[in-house]
Amino acid sequence: MTVSTKVRPTRSNSRNSVVNFWQKHKDNILPPLFGIAGFLILWEIFSLFPGVRLPGPSSLWTDERTRTLLLYPFYDRGGLDKGLFWQTMASLGRVAQGYSLAALVGISMGILVGTKPLVNKALDPIFQFLRMVAPLAWVPIALVALQQNQPAAIFVIFITAIWPILINTAEGVRQIPQDYINVQRVLKLSKQKFFFKILLPSALPYIFTGLRIGIGLAWLAIIAAEIVMSGIVGIGFFIWDAYQQNYVSEIILAVIYIGAVGLILDRAIAYLQKLILPGE
């Protein structure tokens, strides 16, 4: 049998591929670009009205202090006077600690609560009650209890992020399909095998849902916590400081940082989920 195979042009023109990419994706790229541009223009026009004290987006560049912050995120003059990258990293560091703790405790408690109905009955009212408490309300308690800013901030993140993780994990464990439980019972699987081969994989999608909600909440909480806790490096306090000194365009810049970081965190967890749970 003779098969005539055409030799494909392997020497793909780089210019060509850019054009191809553009052709393929322009419908996905152009609308958001127009949307953002439109929003910024409207904002700029709005800020030109007399009596409006909110600066326009152009002030990020026109205001000198802000331009410095924008151009040099990595500067560090000691004390609280650091570039925005370091401010953000400080906040992220706290989130990392508090959130890791929340994930660890949340998942373990969730599994415990999910597998032991009795424990669930005992603890559920407390969980339901505590999870309704707003993150900011925890700040004074944390400060009183822990005395110092740093552990208090971590505690606030922990206590905010733990509930969705815990409750989702417990639900995930409770929702293990009866079929899988039957497999375990018929095969008489050992506890350890059951945990790793059935319970954990089965509850994983739920756990990740919890983790994703948790990371969003943690990031929300840290800003709130830092605003209240004066005198620490962190993007929350940075905003508060800028507000006190009436550098409004600096606040805008910080808000952009916060939004961007939040988005990246959420996407990171989603990516992790995709990595661990293909096809879910």
Using CB under 8 A as the criterion, which residues of the chain lie in contact with another protein when the complex forms? 179-180, 182-183, 185-190, 193, 197-198, 201, 279
Q: Cβ closer to another protein: 136 or 198?
A: 198
Residue 162 contacts residue 105 (beta carbons within 8 Å): yes
Sequence-separated (6 or more) residues with CB below 8 Å from residue 278: none
Between 194 and 240, name the residue whose CB sits nearer to another protein: 194
Q: Smallest distance, Å, CB 175 to another protein?
A: 14
Tell me the residue type at 133. Answer: V
> Which positions ≥6 away from 138 have C-beta within 8 Å?
155, 156, 159, 160
Q: Quick one: 187 or 264, whose CB is closer to another protein?
A: 187
**Could you write out the DSSP letters of every residue in 188-219?**
T--HHHIIIIIIHHHHHHHHHHHHHHHHHHHH
CB of 231 to another protein, least distance (A): 49
Least distance in Å: CB of 200 to another protein?
9
Residue 23, SS3 per DSSP: helix
**Of residues 31 and 177, the one with the C-beta less far from another protein:** 177
How far apart are alpha carbons 105 and 53 in whole angstroms? 46
Take residue 221 and report the two structure tokens written for it. Answer: 């909480």
Work out whether the CA dihedral 256, 259, 262, 266 comes out positive or negative: negative
Which one, 187 or 260, has the nearer CB to another protein? 187
Minimum Å gap between C-beta 211 and another protein is 18
Q: Which is nearer to another protein, 105 or 198 (CB)?
A: 198
Q: 82 pairs with which residues across the strands?
A: 76
What minimum distance in Å lies between the beta carbon of 34 and another protein? 39
Residue 276, CA atoms < 13 Å, CB-side half-sphere: 14
Q: C-beta of 219: minimal distance to another protein in Å?
A: 30
